[in-house]
Homo-oligomer: A and B are copies of this chain.
Amino acid sequence: MKAPAPLEALTEALRRLPGVGARSAQRFAYHLLQHDREGAALLARALSEAVTRIRHCSRCNTFTELEVCETCSSPRRDPSQLCVVETPADQLMVEQTMAYNGLYFVLMGRLSPLDGIGPKQIGLARLLERAADPALREVILATNFTQEGEATAHYIGELLRARGLKVSRLARGVPVGSELEYVDPSTIAQAMRDRRSV
């Protein structure tokens, strides 16, 4: 006795999702077929639509339906600043701060040599090409403050400074609204070193 072929195929396909093993894939498949066939049909359509319509902005590399995304083609944006982030989600977070009005480059990842993700995989050649824009004055590195994000910022910073660009990094420090007691010591140490006159 075997599971019917379309069920096997669905379980296999669900395993393509990152971090989803055989058990979770089976649970997802059973759930959709038993309790949410509408959801399954919806997901099928959403996948097809996204694969067909979503591509990368030729300027900033983010996901978009256009050749050049709305942010990149906006005349209200300051073309002298370029903020480098890891993902579109990070880009949305920076936008929500209302503290930045320049342009973006989205790496769609970070350097992670152990996972085989090198400069080629995160499209650094395209970033360097983008950074050759004569209107550009400053590149702000806003990769994550994880080990890999820091290493990525360091690597990119070196390359861009070698091309004569001004490169900056988001300040490290104590999160706004937090109590020192609950902030980890390495963050406080960093904030101490980067203390500024008031």
Residues in A lying within 8 Å of B, measured CB to CB:
1-7, 9-10, 12-14, 16-19, 24, 26-34, 36-37, 39-54, 63-65, 70-71, 87-89, 91-92, 95, 108-109
Contacts and interface: CB of A to CB of B under 8 A. Distances in A.
Contact of A33 (B32, B42, B63, B71): B63
Given A6-B46, A7-B54, A10-B47, 5 more contacts: A4-B65, A6-B50, A30-B87, A33-B51, A37-B51
Nearest to A24: B19
Contacts of A50: 6-7, 9-10, 29, 32-33, 40
B1 A49 contact: no
B41 A51 contact: yes
